[in-house]
């Protein structure tokens, strides 16, 4: 075993020191002293070994103290550089601030709808003026969502007269409502004003309520059971009589209507409208003037087929169709039965019958009206419609004798209303409808010659 010079020197010194003190100490003291010196030598040796290992210049003299060379570094595989992660700066949590109570707000969504009708009409034969007239009916409708309901404000201007209002002189013909057009009320000045003003909202999922502040009508809350003919003048029948059964015209004005679904196939409608409900003058108002109260129950008998039974109680609220004697006001109980049946996608048949018990000046009256309809949807092209109707406008079939005059007001002849039209759809916003109305006895009068009325309606809608 090899030893270093330092270790040899330490050994010699230790030996001399031991020998010099042998005679001064006991054996036990010599053993303790020897152990103490050995411990010092071990501490010094450990310190020197550590220093030699950490040195890179001194060559080792003891093979057991050689530090193994470091392991070779393996070649690294090139890898994609990873960007350093940015330091995260700690932030203090924001102090919660209680939100101020938000005011009650809602957004208004208003849709603009409209229609413009260019119409030409004139009598082709009969005891009425043969002048051809050209006019319009313009409607702009604002539908505003408020809450769960819709507020409808409609502006309207009418500028077209009625052919049967202009009786030729020297004849027995008189002005009559029969043969009037569905898109005009006889006004020719085209002045614009608020027509319909109503608010519709669901009371329950099965119940719809309509409040009409102006120009309310039965069709606002009632199914008129005449789907192909009732287009409110824009489409369908060209005549007022053909547009819908006459019983529905007895309910107009200001008031409220309710439409309730009893089940999937049965529907109940009730309503009350006053003719001059916005006028507080004597003889007018909601309860003091003309009014119409309606109740109807309708049944769906097929996918596109239905029937309905209707009753209206009216005071000074006439249908506006039929003879003069059928529009004398008074108190009336009106009964109606309507039906529409889709026999195939290309053919639908329908019709109605109406009866009125009327008490007015000049006696009591029994008034009848009826019609049969046929519609051919998509005839000649998608969206087209051919329609045909034959019926009798309201006619006084029997009346009592007027005690003041000794006369009665029974109409002297049963006259028919025969109508045909073809509605051609040019595109989604334009349709053209030519049509003809033939009255066999205008005003249900035996002294009136038959009349033929021609009309051409062009409807722009958006």
Per-residue pLDDT tens over the stretch 91-127: 555 555 555 555 555 557 999 999 999 999 999 998 8
Contact criterion met (CB below 8 Å) for 152 and 141: yes
Going by pLDDT thresholds of 50, 70 and 90, the confidence category of residue 36 is low
Rounded to whole angstroms, how far apart are CA atoms 298 and 223?
8
CB atoms within 10 A of CB 144: 14
Q: Nearest to residue 400, comparing CAs of 369, 350, 435, 362?
A: 362
Rounded to whole angstroms, how far apart are CA atoms 218 and 309?
14
Rounded to whole angstroms, how far apart are CA atoms 188 and 168?
19
What are the b/e assignments for 286-321, b being 16+ CB within 10 Å?
A: bebbbbbbbebebebeeeebbbbebebbbbbbbbbb
Regarding predicted confidence, which is higher, 285 or 3? Answer: 285
Q: What is the pLDDT of residues 174-228, one digit of tens each?
A: 899 999 999 998 889 888 999 999 999 999 999 999 999 999 999 999 999 999 9
The predicted structure's pLDDT at residue 319: 95
Regarding predicted confidence, which is higher, 335 or 185? Answer: 335
Going by pLDDT thresholds of 50, 70 and 90, the confidence category of residue 293 is very high
Contact criterion met (CB below 8 Å) for 297 and 307: no
Q: Nearest to residue 353, comparing CAs of 307, 388, 318?
A: 307
Distance of CA 106 to the CA centre of its chain: 17
Contact criterion met (CB below 8 Å) for 346 and 378: yes
Mean pLDDT of 350-379: 96
Rounded to whole angstroms, how far apart are CA atoms 388 and 375?
7
Rounded to whole angstroms, how far apart are CA atoms 101 and 310?
51
Q: Nearest to residue 210, comparing CAs of 266, 300, 149?
A: 149
The predicted structure's pLDDT at residue 79: 44
Bridge partners (DSSP) listed for residue 139: 115, 156
Bridge partners (DSSP) listed for residue 207: 204, 260
Instruction: Tell me the DSSP string of 133-198.
Output: EEEEEEEEEEEEEETTEEEEEEEEEEE---GGG-BPTTSS----STT-BTT--S--S--EEEEEEE
Rounded to whole angstroms, how far apart are CA atoms 239 and 184?
9
What are the b/e assignments for 13-25, b being 16+ CB within 10 Å?
A: ebeeeeeeeeeee
Residue percentage of the chain with pLDDT more than 90: 67
Q: What is the mean pLDDT of the chain?
A: 84
Torsion sign across C-alpha atoms 15, 18, 22, 26: negative
The predicted structure's pLDDT at residue 292: 97
Mean pLDDT of 68-84: 46
The DSSP H or E segment spanning 82 is: none
Distance of CA 26 to the CA centre of its chain: 121
């Amino acid at each position: 075993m090899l030893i270093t010079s330092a270790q040899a020197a330490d050994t010699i010194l230790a030996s001399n020191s031991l020998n010099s003190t042998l005679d001064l100490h006991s054996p036990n003291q010599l053993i303790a002293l020897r152990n103490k010196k050995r411990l010092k030598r071990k501490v010094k040796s450990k310190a020197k070994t550590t220093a030699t290992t950490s040195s890179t210049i001194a060559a080792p003299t003891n093979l057991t103290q050689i530090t193994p060379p470091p392991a070779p570094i393996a070649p690294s595989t090139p890898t994609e550089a990873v960007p350093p992660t940015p330091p995260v700066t700690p932030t203090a949590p924001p102090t919660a601030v209680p939100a101020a109570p938000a005011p009650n707000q809602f957004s208004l969504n208003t849709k603009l709808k409209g229609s413009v009708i260019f119409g030409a009409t004139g009598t082709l034969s009969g005891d009425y003026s043969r002048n051809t007239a050209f006019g319009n009916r313009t409607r702009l409708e604002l539908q505003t969502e408020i809450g769960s309901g819709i507020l409808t404000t409609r502006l309207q201007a009418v500028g077209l007269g009625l052919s049967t209002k202009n009786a030729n002189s020297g004849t027995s013909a008189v002005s009559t409502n029969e043969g009037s057009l569905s898109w005009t009320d006889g006004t020719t000045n085209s002045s614009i004003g608020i027509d319909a003003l109503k608010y519709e909202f669901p009371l329950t999922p099965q119940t719809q309520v309509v409040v009409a502040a102006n120009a309310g009508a039965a069709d606002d809350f009632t199914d008129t059971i005449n789907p192909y003919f009732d287009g409110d003048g824009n489409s369908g029948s060209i005549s007022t009589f053909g547009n819908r059964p006459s019983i529905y015209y007895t309910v107009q004005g200001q008031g409220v209507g309710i439409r309730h679904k009893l089940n999937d196939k049965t529907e109940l409608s009730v309503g009350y409208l006053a003719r001059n409900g916005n006028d507080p003058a004597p003889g007018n108002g909601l309860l003091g003037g003309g009014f119409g109260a309606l109740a109807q129950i309708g049944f769906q008998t097929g996918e596109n087929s239905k029937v309905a039974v209707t009753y209206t109680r009216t005071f000074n609220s006439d249908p506006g169709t039929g003879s003069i004697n059928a529009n004398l006001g008074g108190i009336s109980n009106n009964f109606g039965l309507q039906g529409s049946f889709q026999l195939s996608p290309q053919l639908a048949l329908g019709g109605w019958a109406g009866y009125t018990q009327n008490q007015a000046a000049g006696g009591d009256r029994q008034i009848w009206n009826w019609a049969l309809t046929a519609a051919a949807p998509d005839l000649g092209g998608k969206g087209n419609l051919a329609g045909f109707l034959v019926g009798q406008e309201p006619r006084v079939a029997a009346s009592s004798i007027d005690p003041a005059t000794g006369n009665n007001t029974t109409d002297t002849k049963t006259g028919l209303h025969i109508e045909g039209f073809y509605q051609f759809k040019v595109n989604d916003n334009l349709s053209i409808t030519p049509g003809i109305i033939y009255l066999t006895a205008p005003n249900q009068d035996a002294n009136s010659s038959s009349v033929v009325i021609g009309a051409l309606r062009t409807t722009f809608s958006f």
